[in-house]
Amino acid sequence: MKIEFTGIYKNNVVENESLYLNNIKIRRNDGKIVIIDRDETYYTAENGKVDILFRGSYEWNGEESFYPRYEDIDLYDNAIIVDYEIEDDAPEGYDLAIEEQKISAW
């Protein structure tokens, strides 16, 4: 699963325009809210804005990961990011506002 989104740094707390994003929560198309983590993260940050790409994304229940199956495509395509978790080592006051998003199961 591939997730692309754009964030804006809030509170003007930007340390080398780094990304301190642990995971995200999405609302699948069946209404269930799930935690999503990923194998790879790519991002470019500039002028207080960050473009983020998660590759190899999967559901995480705290103990096990569940990669989407082909039959589950409809659950994830165009799902919506509803929340996110910031890394514990982020600078104090660090936060993002998610501006744009695109989720595709394949």
- CA torsion 22-27-30-31 (nearest 10°) is 120
Q: How confident is the model over 39-49, as a mean pLDDT?
A: 89
Owner of token pair 């209404």: 31
Rounded CA separation 6/72 (Å): 25
Number of domains in the chain: 1
Task: Output the pTM of the full model.
Answer: 0.86
Residue 52 has pLDDT above 60, yes or no: yes
What is the rounded distance in angstroms from the CA atom of residue 74 to the CA atom of residue 89?
A: 35
Closest alpha carbon to 106 in 72, 81, 83, 80: 72
For residue 12, what pLDDT band results from cuts at 50, 70 and 90?
low
Instruction: Let me know: does 22 contact 83? Beta carbons within 8 Å.
Output: no
Full residue range of the structural domain in which residue 77 is found: 2-104
Judged against a pLDDT cut of 70, whether residue 85 lies above it is answered with: yes
> In this model, does residue 25 exceed pLDDT 90?
yes
